[in-house]
Amino acid sequence: MLAIGLLSLLFLGYLGMYHLYGKFLARRIFKISSERITPAVEMEDGRDYVPTKKQVIFGHHFTSIAGTGPIVGPAIAIIWGWVPAILWVFLGSLVMGAVHDFGSLVISLRNKGKSISDYTAKYINNRTRFLFFLIVFLELWIVISVFGLVIASIFKIFPSSVIPVWFQIPIAIALGFALKKKKVNLTVSTIIAVAVMYLTVVVGRFLPLEMPDLWGIPSTGLWTILLLIYAFIASVLPVTTLLQPRDFINAYQLVVAMGIIVLGVLISGIMGDLEMVAPAIQVHPSGAPPVIPFLFITIACGAISGFHSLVSSGTTAKQIRSEKDSLFVGYGSMLTEGALAILVIIAVGAGIGLGHKSGDGSMLFGIEAWSEHYSSWAEAGGLGKKIGAFVEGSANMIGTIGIPVEIAVVIMGVFVASFAGTTLDTATRIQRYVIGEIFAGIRKPILHNIYFTTFIAVASAAILAFATGADGKGALKLWPLFGAVNQTLAALALIIITIYLKPKGKLKWLVSGIPAIFMIVVTLWATTINQINFMQEGNILLATVNLIVLIIVVWITAEGLIRFVKVNNL
């Protein structure tokens, strides 16, 4: 019953805070107004700037920011106990993450849809703009490279997810065409599209597709190549062709998946089978870094994530048709992601206890099942392992409502792969924007050609992915930096929001200023510990890149503080 109580209390808390704190921010702090003309309306071009219904843009925004982040982070961090994990997800998403996402979106809406990197020049200076671009490019570089591998790994672990995931593309294109040309009913069309998508899930269950190794390239490498080619094509198409309809379908997929997980929690909890088998608090798990500050770095998406500021000020700000929609899209999406992270914690903290097949074929239950996954930090880490833990735990709970566990595994595998796919699409498109903004002052037509800039984005990611071999796992060399880089970006975005709010008076800047200070402290703390560890290990690559990140953080923080003290009217 503990799991049911936690779920009910936290979900009600999210709903209440959306109407209390979220609307307070919208009305009193940012003063959003439908009278302001948004970039999507002012600069509509049919490709990137497209005024969109808030339900559709919510689907795009949420599925883009989510990806596997709110799954992997909480699924690893629960090794320190479910209490600190849930507290950080709940409180962090309410007063830090949602403020960060909403603020980044509003400022971009008032700066012609420019990215947070670009409008940094206005609120601090040009030096900071360049440094910000370096951090953003590094983050997106890692994201594109790693998420291609993540989806490839899911296809390898769950071959039954291949058909449903790839069939989403023609389904989404058909939906986008129908909505644009035929003027059909949005709700009816979406229900049909989602129903067809779930039909492919059943097909995938009975027709799993496994990619063979070919020409000396492992299956993960082949999938990574195909996914990067797909990312190129998807990111140059008009958003209404694939990006919006696919993300909208995935948003409905989210509703269905979260709904059946919640139902599984309720049924298994009422039956008395579901218990939190993970420890409430475990300060010193074997081989793990200190819980503080690394809890706040390990759980990013679900609490606060710098990547979200790139989506808010990248693709989303170019599609909002009314500034009033920014509360629902920006603040609401972050709380929804927090709710998803809560479900992940329950799935890996309790769902795994319903049954886990160990390596020797025996079935484990309760604490023994959980310990099989979390005996040490080495066991807890790893993208594939934690995605598998979430899928298994969720499938166990879903199985209690009558859905066969085999089908439940496919549903959750498709769910994870689909979200990773939308993040890959969006990250590639944003990287194209970033490269274009970097070249903004250079009058060379090719540097502003969308195909050329997208090629740079995809080719650079491919170089990183295959830097260590044909398996496409090269980006994993830089993956240990991702958490700190991502949270560094969140801290820097909060600095920009704080400087933006300072001239508004009456200490409005505190809503972002306090979170900014917190995030600066924990990211600098974690980055410094990482630097010491990398140097002691003799890892020259990570030590060098981490040191560059550390210098950039200190530099931008100092520049931001100087600007904050001086600013009176922007």
Please provide the size of the chain in residues: 570
Give which of 390, 399, 397 is closest to 419, Cα–Cα: 390
- Report whether 296 contacts 378 (CB < 8 A): no
CA distances from 195 to 182, 192, 198 (A): 20, 5, 5
Question: Which token pair is 519?
Answer: 């995030």
**Sheet strands (E) in 286-366:** 356-357, 363-364
CATH number at residue 483: 1.20.1740.10
Q: How far apart are CA 5 and CA 320, in angstroms?
A: 36
Q: How far apart are CA 264 and CA 397, in angstroms?
A: 5
Question: Which token pair is 333?
Answer: 């999406």
Paired with 296 in beta bridges are none
Give which of 466, 435, 440 is closest to 451, Cα–Cα: 435
Residue 289 lies in a domain: no
Residue 288 lies in a domain: no
Residue 285 lies in a domain: no
Q: How far apart are CA 235 and CA 436, in angstroms?
A: 14
List the chain pLDDT tens, one digit each, 570 residues. Answer: 677 888 889 999 999 999 999 999 999 999 999 999 999 999 998 888 999 888 889 988 888 888 777 888 898 899 999 999 999 999 999 999 999 999 999 999 999 998 888 888 888 888 888 888 888 888 899 889 888 888 888 888 888 889 998 998 999 888 888 777 666 777 788 888 888 988 988 888 888 888 887 888 898 889 999 999 999 999 898 888 877 888 888 888 888 888 888 888 888 877 766 788 889 999 888 888 899 999 999 998 899 999 999 999 988 999 999 999 999 999 999 999 999 999 999 988 888 877 767 766 677 777 887 887 787 787 666 666 777 788 888 888 888 888 888 888 888 888 888 878 888 888 999 899 888 887 777 777 777 788 999 999 999 999 999 988 888 888 888 878 888 889 989 999 999 999 999 998 778 899 999 999 999 999 999 999 999 999 998 889 899 989 988 998 899 889 989 988 887 654
- Report whether 396 contacts 352 (CB < 8 A): yes
Residue 281 lies in a domain: no
Q: How far apart are CA 173 and CA 171, in angstroms?
A: 6
Residue 98 lies in a domain: yes
pTM: 0.90
Domain count across the chain: 1
Q: How far apart are CA 561 and CA 538, in angstroms?
A: 34
Residue 287 lies in a domain: no
Give which of 260, 338, 339 is closest to 303, Cα–Cα: 338
Domain hosting residue 512, numbered range:
2-274+295-566
